[in-house]
């Protein structure tokens, strides 16, 4: 079979098939996380980015290349979430700029589009690293340029370009030692290869295969054998058992053993009244059936938690934005003598009970604040510091560019500070700032919640937005953060042997501590960050941690380190038992 050109209809089919392929393999890609923490979400981020574009592409009537290109670029740009999603959106953006001018695609045009895609994506990343999705994209684009000079047959062109992408992907562990230590290929690069394979299959007229690949193909998907079993379990299942009677120690062990027989990533937290359960499995019904033997169930969540979060956030923020626009229009025509309304607005803005997303009656002001936060306690802290709108998100729930734009639209201020509080959200926040046309949006590159708290504490109302941004960026560099969670697989990182279910203290750049004792790991994590210049240690305990244990940890740190002040606050964050900051 020989194909020499691609029309708009075929390109639509290829793009949608690539998107479906990525969606089908997202959990596989999620498992390619360097750190063995329970928050790998590259596959989810890339899938939700491409699906945002796919929704726009699929809604087109009588598409031509220009309208398809616009839908791909706009949809992915606004739907982008996480670093991998933002980079993917930039690849699509550059690619779309070239094809938008054409009616049909040939090998030279595709080669030029791939080159523009790589150029655009590299410009979007401040410090590109080799051994990532960027490397895979660049090398396959260079191969495409060579192929365009050798053949007009798109079947040969696509096959050989895809082979090059797979070849480079397999080499990523040699380019990034951290990948080799973790025994994985680059997850973003893997996502790109999956998308390209799906698009190429559509060109050949093949139906999408959404089944799990046989073991012989896992060399592309994974490097190590340790994680092969984990990718078989695709449903994230959570629920609470309201116990008929307390579980005995043996019953609790039997329950955990059963969950281990049907899945992995298991978390069971039991007391006399309830049992919180989390498991990755291919049959949530089995887990639910076993749980029902011990009581009734509540708060059941299966699989699509992130998608539901996105829909809810967009809906709420859009509604708020619409209400505020209407209010602004009404205010312009109101008589300046409406003192009663002004007093009411002022009282609402000063009320300590005001929620950060209740902006419909807020007066216009000079400065606004939007942090990203996960956890009831942490959100209350940000509210107390003056946050106008809190974006729910963080690990496993990276907000999209559009989510951040919606939040910006909902805040009545000339200058708005956005605190991503996660390194995987900064690119999406920057992209939102670039897309916002009527407000000055400043993204403070906070990579952790404690950095975000420090940044807001250091805001000075009497100074300009630029002066405050400079101060905030300087102050967050003084904050060290440790996050204590558990390992989802065996691995070796920085010569530390880590076993599945070990507790781990993850620092700003590496693993700080690992072991079987939560208290000891937390203490080691904190003490590895304390030095002679340290004056304050803050402990934020999470949803699965205990206040008394957190206070005991803080007291022990204060006993061991003279001159150190400690504070304990409820964070309520998921996944991480403790967040610890040292300043």
Q: Which two tokens stand for residue 65?
A: 């290349």
Q: Which two tokens stand for residue 94?
A: 């550059």
Residue 253 CA from chain centroid, whole number: 33
Angle separating helix axes 107-124 and 154-175, nearest 10 degrees: 30
Instruction: Give me the phi and psi of 198, to 5 degrees please.
Output: -65, -40
Separation of alpha carbons 83 and 56, rounded Å: 22
Please, where are the H alpha helices in 272-395?
284-292, 305-333, 339-350, 376-384
Q: Which two tokens stand for residue 130?
A: 């080799």
Q: Where are the beta strands (DSSP E) in 410-502?
A: 413-419, 440-443, 480-486, 491-493, 496-498
**Which pLDDT value is given to residue 556?**
94
User: How would you class 546 by CB atoms within 10 Å of its CB: exposed for 0-12, middle for 13-18, buried for 19 or more?
Assistant: exposed
**Which pLDDT value is given to residue 90?**
94
Instruction: Give me the phi and psi of 14, to 5 degrees please.
Output: -65, -45
Residue 514 has a CB neighbour count (10 Å cut-off) of 22
**Which pLDDT value is given to residue 421?**
94
Separation of alpha carbons 410 and 359, rounded Å: 7
For 113, 173, 364, 473, 490, the CA distances from 323, given in Å and listed in that order, are 41, 50, 14, 33, 51
47 HSE (CA, 13 A, CB side) = 21
Cα-only R_g, the chain: 25
Pairing of strands 440-443, 413-419: parallel
Q: DSSP secondary structure string, 477-529?
A: TT-EEEEEEE-SS-EEETTEEE-TT-EEEE-SSSEEEEES-HHHHHHHHHHHH
Separation of alpha carbons 166 and 163, rounded Å: 5
Separation of alpha carbons 448 and 288, rounded Å: 35
Q: DSSP secondary structure string, 155-224?
A: HHHHHHHHHHHHHHHHHHHHH-HHHHHHT---HHHHHHHHHHHHHHHHHTTPPP--SPPPGGGHHHH-S-
Q: Where are the beta strands (DSSP E) in 348-426?
A: 365-373, 391-392, 413-419
Angle separating helix axes 42-58 and 82-99, nearest 10 degrees: 30
Please, where are the H alpha helices in 59-132?
65-79, 82-99, 107-124
How close are the terminal C-alpha atoms of the chain, in Å?
A: 65
The structure's pTM equals 0.68
**Which pLDDT value is given to residue 463?**
92
**Which pLDDT value is given to residue 151?**
96
Separation of alpha carbons 426 and 422, rounded Å: 7
**Successive 10-residue mean pLDDT values, the chain, 583 residues:** 94 94 90 66 90 92 95 92 91 96 97 96 86 96 97 97 96 88 87 96 75 29 30 69 87 86 71 76 86 86 50 47 52 45 36 39 85 91 91 81 92 95 92 92 96 93 94 94 87 79 89 92 94 92 92 93 90 92 93
**Which pLDDT value is given to residue 314?**
47
Separation of alpha carbons 569 and 572, rounded Å: 9
């Amino acid at each position: 079979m020989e194909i020499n050109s691609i029309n708009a209809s075929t390109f639509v089919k290829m793009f949608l098939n690539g998107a479906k392929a990525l969606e089908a393999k997202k959990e596989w890609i999620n498992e390619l996380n360097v750190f063995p923490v329970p928050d790998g979400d590259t596959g989810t981020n890339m899938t939700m980015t491409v699906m945002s574009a796919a929704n726009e592409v699929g809604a087109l009537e009588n598409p031509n290349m220009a309208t398809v290109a616009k839908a791909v670029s706009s949809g992915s740009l606004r739907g982008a979430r996480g670093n991998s999603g933002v980079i993917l959106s930039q690849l699509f953006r550059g690619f779309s700029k070239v094809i938008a001018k054409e009616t049909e695609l040939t090998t030279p045009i595709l080669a030029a589009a791939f080159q523009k895609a790589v150029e655009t994506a590299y410009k979007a990343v401040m410090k590109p690293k080799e051994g990532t999705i960027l490397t895979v994209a660049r090398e396959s684009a260079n191969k495409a340029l060579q192929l365009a000079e050798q053949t007009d047959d798109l079947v040969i062109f696509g096959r050989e370009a895809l082979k090059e992408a797979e070849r480079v992907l397999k080499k990523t562990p040699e380019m990034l030692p951290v990948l080799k230590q973790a025994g994985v290929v680059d997850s973003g690069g893997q996502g790109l290869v999956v998308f390209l394979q799906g698009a190429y299959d559509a060109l050949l007229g093949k139906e999408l295969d959404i089944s799990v690949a046989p073991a012989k193909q896992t060399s592309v998907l994974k490097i190590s054998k340790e994680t092969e079993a984990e990718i078989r379990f695709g449903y994230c299942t959570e629920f609470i058992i309201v116990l008929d009677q307390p579980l005995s120690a043996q019953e609790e062990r039997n329950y955990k053993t059963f969950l281990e027989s049907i899945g992995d990533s298991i978390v069971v937290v039991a007391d006399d009244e309830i049992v919180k359960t989390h498991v990755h499995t291919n049959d949530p019904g089995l887990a639910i059936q076993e749980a029902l033997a011990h009581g009734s169930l509540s708060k059941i969540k299966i699989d699509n938690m992130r998608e539901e979060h996105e829909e809810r956030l967009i809906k709420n923020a859009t509604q708020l934005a619409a209400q505020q626009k209407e209010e602004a229009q009404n205010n312009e025509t109101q008589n300046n003598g409406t003192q009663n309304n002004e007093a009411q607005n002022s009282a609402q803005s000063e009320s300590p009970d005001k929620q950060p997303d209740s902006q419909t009656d807020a007066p216009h002001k000079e400065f606004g604040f939007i942090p990203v936060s996960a956890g009831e306690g942490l959100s209350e802290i940000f509210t107390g510091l003056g946050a106008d709108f809190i974006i729910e998100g963080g690990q496993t729930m990276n907000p999209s560019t559009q989510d951040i734009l919606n939040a910006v639209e909902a805040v009545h201020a000339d200058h708005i500070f956005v605190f991503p509080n996660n390194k995987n959200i900064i690119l999406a926040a920057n992209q939102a700032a670039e897309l916002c046309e009527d407000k000055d949006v400043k993204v403070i590159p906070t990579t952790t919640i404690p950095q975000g708290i420090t940044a807001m504490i250091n805001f000075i109302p009497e100074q300009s937005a630029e002066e405050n941004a400079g101060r905030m960026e300087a102050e967050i560099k003084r904050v060290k953060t440790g996050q204590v969670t558990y390992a989802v697989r065996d691995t070796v990182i920085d010569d530390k042997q880590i076993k599945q279910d070990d507790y781990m203290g993850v620092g700003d750049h590496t693993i700080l501590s690992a072991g079987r004792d939560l208290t000891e790991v937390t203490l080691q994590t904190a003490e590895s960050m304390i030095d002679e210049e340290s004056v304050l240690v803050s402990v934020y305990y999470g949803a699965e941690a205990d206040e008394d244990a957190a206070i005991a940890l803080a007291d022990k740190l204060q006993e061991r380190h003279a001159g150190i002040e400690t504070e304990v606050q409820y964070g309520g964050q998921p996944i991480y038992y403790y967040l610890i900051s040292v300043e």
